Each structure stands twice: as C-alpha cells, then as structure tokens.
Structure 1
Amino acid sequence: MIRLLKMCATRSRSDHSAVKRPRGRPRKTLEERNEGLGRQAIIKAAAKLFRCHGFNGTSTRDIACAVGMHSGSLFYHFKSKDALLYEVMQEGLRSAVARQMIVLLAEHDAATTLRQLIRSHFDTLLGPNSDFMQAVLYESRSLNTRQRNVIAKLQGDYEAAWTPVLQELSLTGCLQAEVPLARHLLFGALNWSVQWFDAKNGASLDDLTDAVMALMIRKKSR
C-alpha cells in the first residue's frame, strides 16, 4: 500500500511539472481581437469620409454605416466624433514618422536623403493611405485646443527632422535658399500638391520628386 501511494505521488509531481506555465502576456481573446479590428476599420472609414465630405459634412451615422454597424455602436470605441478625428490625425502622423525614420536611418549623402524624404512625403500625401494626412492638413480647426497643440507638436517634430539634411546641403553650397526658408517652401509646395496632383495626367510621384529637387538643389559647376 505504501509503495502504491509513493508511485501515485511521483506520478502526480511528474504530471504537474509537465504543465507549462504561461509566459508573458496572455493571448488576446477572439472578442478582443475583433474589437481591435473594428476600431481600425472605423478609423480608416472615418479618414476616407472626412476627406470626401469634410469633418462637419460627415455624421457618426455615415461612419457607422461605412463599417456595417449601428450608429450607437460607434461610441463603444470612441466617445465622440471629435475623438475619432483626433485619432485619425495621430494615425496619419504616426505613419508619416515611420516612413521618415526608414529614410533617416539609412546611410546616404544629404542630397539622396532629401530626395528620399521628399518621395516619402509624397507617398504620405498622395499614396494609398493618404486619407489620414488630409485630415492633418485641413481639419485641425475642428480639434479642441489641447488636441490641436499635440498635433501641431507632432507635425513640427516631423518637419524639424529635415533641418539637419538641409543644413548639410547648405554648407556644401547646394541648397538654393536659406535653410528656414527652404524648409517652409518645401512643405508649402509638397502639401499643396494634394490640391492639384492627378496621376491620370501622366506625371508620377518620381516625376514630382525630380521636379522639386531641381528647384531646391543647385548643381555643382564642373
């Protein structure tokens, strides 16, 4: 009997040790994953509608309908349409910064880096996910003061990252204008492209990039 009890105890310890303890964070439930996907779908749909009809011209019912939910369900994810706009704008800037970091972390000369920054910015403004940046450019007046200040800070930091590149080009005599002026002119010209650019007219984003570089960079004389 004693021998049998010892065998059972040994087996119990062995079975217990075979059960692995979960490591790290527990996996998200299916409901939690669906909730995250639903939130992203709302943000994407809102960005598109804000671009097409403006913030004031888009209702929460319009956004809810675009993602196939009841209008009241929208407030499960966002407490107001203003909060949703704020998230759309942050998403646009997060995407822009991520693109920019890829360029800045690469090891290139200043002229090549500027070209890639310009091309990246055109992608952000005119590429497949450009709805988000449209809100950044044209809907900040619909934010409250705190939100507007946060967006302005993020946008300012994004643009400031171009300054060292422009300074290096200026030191080598390649930049056509003083650095602060060149930066303002660059972003003014690039951002305005959303008002007139149409890929159907034959110009590509590479063509736009080449044109901007020709305007900003002075060719060295041989």
Structure 2
Amino acid sequence: MDKPALRTRSAAQAIADGHSLIAVAEKRPRGRPRKTIDERDDGNRRVELVNAAAKLFRRKGFDATSTRDIAAAVGMHSGSPFYHFKSKGALLYAVMDEGMRSAILRQTAALEAAAQAPPDADAAALLRVLIRNHFDVLLGAGSDFIPVMLYESRSITAKQRASLARLQGDYESVWEPVLQALSSEGRLQCPVKLARLLIFGALNWSVQWFDAKKGASLDELADAAMALFIGESQKPMRRTRA
C-alpha cells in the first residue's frame, strides 16, 4: 500500500492546481483570434440576436424556430439576421460558443472568490462552490445558452462540436484536482474519471426538471448534490435568504 502521505493532497493544492488549469485555459489559443467587443456586437444587434436565439432555441427547439421568429423577437425584418450570421446554424453555434465562454468566466470568478475564503476550507467546500456555480450556469439568470448546447449539438457541424468540446474540456478540467483530492482523502467512492462523468450527467439533467417557482432553491440543490456525491452536506461559504 502507498504511504498516506503520498496518497493525500491538500485542498489548498487542489485549489492551486485549479487556478493553474484556469490560467492555462485562458492563455491557450482556441481557433481564430477573438474579436473585439465592437466587432462581436455588430452595433449591438448581434448580441440581441444571440440572446433572443438562445431563448427561442431553448423554448421551441432549433428545428421549430425560424429566423423570422428570431428577427421578430428583436424587431428586425425577417432577412436581417443574415447580415450578422450566414445561416441559422451559424447562429446556433454562436449561442453555444457564447454559453461556454461565459461559463468558463463565471467559474473562474467563483474560484477566485473561493480563494478569499478562510484558509481551512477543504476540497469538499471547493466542490460545493463548483457545483453551486454550475447550477447557476444551468438554471440561473441568462441560463438559456448551456441547455441549448446540451440538447441541440446534433444540429451543428463536426468541426463546431470539436471546438465546443475543447471549451468544455477547459471548463471541466478545473474539477479534476478537486475530485482527485477528495479521492485521496477517501471521500469519493469511485474512480475520479467516472465520478466526473456521473456528476456532470446528474447536474446537467436538472435543466429538464427544475422549476424555479417550485421546490428547492439553487443552494438547496447544491446541498443535496453534495450529500449525494460525497455523502455529506457541506455548509456553503456564504448563504443568505431573502
């Protein structure tokens, strides 16, 4: 058997590794150079189109949503979206790409906030931060983008799916050192790779059944997920109720 000192890794090291992975993800070039804010806005209409498309694709589905529907939602003529996007498929990909990039930025911010927590915060506390943030990405304000990516990926090209997979890999890689730390501490009862797949599968499915007007809050969902995944309920670093 390995010596305990060799098996265990501190939560602090997990956090440090997580930040290192984020830094690598931010520096690593992904496809074409990023456009400036002005270029991406195209006079603010592009942003409006992407936001409207995300809502409609999630509510009606990609196939049932027409460019006429999207144009009407932002007060455009039916052919005007093609000035900004070559096709409805290109607009769908833009929704997914924006969603993943936003999710990465939000996760980075959540981890940076966690780094300001008391020094005794352990890997379980960090896992709760990641889970709570992921629920916010999936179910919180402006959360149409990732559900569209999860359930409409068949409608984009293989090249586009590969590009999104790289962004998704950057997002999920930050979870790896946290799960490794929990595994070393004996708090994760299955292999890390399998645990990661099962955790994301369970969390992502919540977009199918969660109703903000009924049942649990996102904080309560995070607590339940912690109890399910590692057998204990962790108190959040900050929890308030209106």
Q: Calculate the TM-score normalised by the size of structure 1.
A: 0.80
Kindly indicate which of the two structures has a greater share of residues assigned to helix: 1
Question: Partner of 1:200: helix, strand, or coil?
Answer: coil
Amino acid across the alignment from 1:109: D
Which stretch shows the higher mean deviation, 96-105 or 117-126? Answer: 96-105
Higher relative contact order at CA 8 Å, sep ≥6: structure 1 or structure 2?
Answer: 2
Aligned CA-pair RMSD? 1.9
Q: Calculate the TM-score normalised by the size of structure 2.
A: 0.74
1:35 positional shift: 3.4
Distance 2:152 2:139 in 1: 17
Among 133, 136, 140, the alignment partner of 2:153 is 140
Distance 2:41 2:92 in 1: 21
Aligned: 1:91 with 2:104: no
Tell me which residue corresponds to 1:16.
Answer: none
What residue ranges of structure 2 are gaps of 5+ in the alignment? 1-36, 116-120, 233-242
Amino acid across the alignment from 2:150: L
Amino acid across the alignment from 1:163: E
Amino acid across the alignment from 1:90: D
Count residues in correspondence. Answer: 190
Distance 1:180 1:137 in 2: 20
Amino acid across the alignment from 1:61: R
What is the percentage of aligned positions where both structures have the same residue? 65
1:200 positional shift: 2.2
Amino acid across the alignment from 2:192: V
Distance 1:175 1:47 in 2: 36
Among 145, 150, 163, the alignment partner of 2:176 is 163
Tell me which residue corresponds to 1:12.
Answer: none
Distance 1:43 1:216 in 2: 35
Distance 1:34 1:143 in 2: 22
- Contact 2:93/2:160 (8 A) holds in 1: yes
Question: Structure 1, residues 183-202: CA drift from partner, whole Å, max 9, x if none?
Answer: 11110100001111112223
Distance 2:147 2:218 in 1: 17
Among 64, 85, 108, the alignment partner of 1:78 is 85
Rg comparison, structure with higher value: 1
Question: Partner of 2:188: helix, strand, or coil?
Answer: coil
- Contact 1:42/1:67 (8 A) holds in 2: yes
The 3 A distance-change label for structure 1 pair 34 and 133 is closer
- Contact 1:177/1:216 (8 A) holds in 2: no
Among 161, 166, 169, the alignment partner of 1:153 is 166
Tell me which residue corresponds to 1:109.
Answer: 122
What residue ranges of structure 1 are gaps of 5+ in the alignment? 1-27
1:206 positional shift: 0.6
How do residues 60-79 of structure 1 correspond to structure 2 at under 5 angstroms? 60-79=67-86
- Contact 1:91/1:132 (8 A) holds in 2: yes
Tell me which residue corresponds to 1:19.
Answer: none
